[in-house]
Amino acid sequence: MAEAEKRRNLVLSGLEPLIITPESVFVNVGERTNVTGSRKFLRLIKEEKYDEALSIAKEQVEGGAQIIDINMDEGMLDGEYAMTKFLNLIAAEPDISRVPIMIDSSKWDIIEAGLKVVQGKCVVNSISLKEGEEAFIHHAKLIKRYGAAVIVMAFDEVGQADNYERRIEICQRSYNILVNKVNFPPQ
């Protein structure tokens, strides 16, 4: 693969690489390991039945998931503990850890707990400008330091983008900050 072409691609990894090219039409993200989206997964995590919770992740990979989304945002959980424990258990399971992880949280402490233990190059879902540019830059620099990719939500200090023009405005501003102030690769 030519150097210029490599720079256009997003490369993620678990034990195996996942190369997302401009021609990639669809990336299958398994979202059943999300306490806000799966009652079964939430129950297993609350009851600390991590072996059974791991089986959900394994089923997703066997079913074709190319990335596993993990979310531990639940008020009755110690999200940092649950994220760390679950990611450490995944790391010991090659059938699961071969695919990249998406650390999905609205709470920075949970995201960072995941970044500290995740194997390979993961994706952080997500950061936004909601708390201001300074916090956005701080979080983006840490994400870059950990070697992760990032998803940016179309929120800023005013609120969520509520129309096409606002989405473009917020996303362009976020992109410019990431590329020009944090030195994230543009892809």
Residue that finishes a domain, picked among 77, 101, 126: 126
Pair (183, 101) in one structural domain: no
Q: What is the pTM of this model?
A: 0.93
CA angle 113, 117, 122 (to 5 degrees): 90
Give me the pLDDT at residue 15, please: 96
Side-chain-side CA neighbours of residue 34 (13 Å): 17
d(CA 95, CA 63): 12
Pair (132, 113) in one structural domain: no
Pair (32, 110) in one structural domain: yes
Residue 43 lies in a domain: yes
- Domain range holding 56? 27-126
Give me the pLDDT at residue 174, please: 98
Q: For residue 81, give every residue at least 6 positions away whose Cβ sits within 8 Å of its Cβ, in sequence order, or none.
A: 113
Give me the pLDDT at residue 3, please: 52
The total number of structural domains that make up the chain: 2
Give me the pLDDT at residue 175, please: 98
Residue that finishes a domain, picked among 77, 103, 126: 126
Give me the pLDDT at residue 1, please: 46
Place of tokens 């039409």: 25
Residue 186 lies in a domain: yes
Pair (33, 80) in one structural domain: yes
CA angle 27, 117, 128 (to 5 degrees): 55
User: Per-10-residue mean pLDDT for the chain, 187 residues long?
Assistant: 62 96 93 96 98 98 98 96 98 98 97 97 97 98 97 96 97 98 90
Q: What is the DSSP letter of 22?
A: T
Pair (134, 68) in one structural domain: no
End-to-end CA distance of the chain: 16
Q: Specify whether the CB–CB gap between 99 and 20 falls below 8 A.
A: no
Residue that finishes a domain, picked among 83, 98, 126: 126
CATH code, domain carrying 53: 3.20.20.20
Residue 34 lies in a domain: yes
Burial label for 183, CB within 10 Å (0-12, 13-18, 19+), is exposed
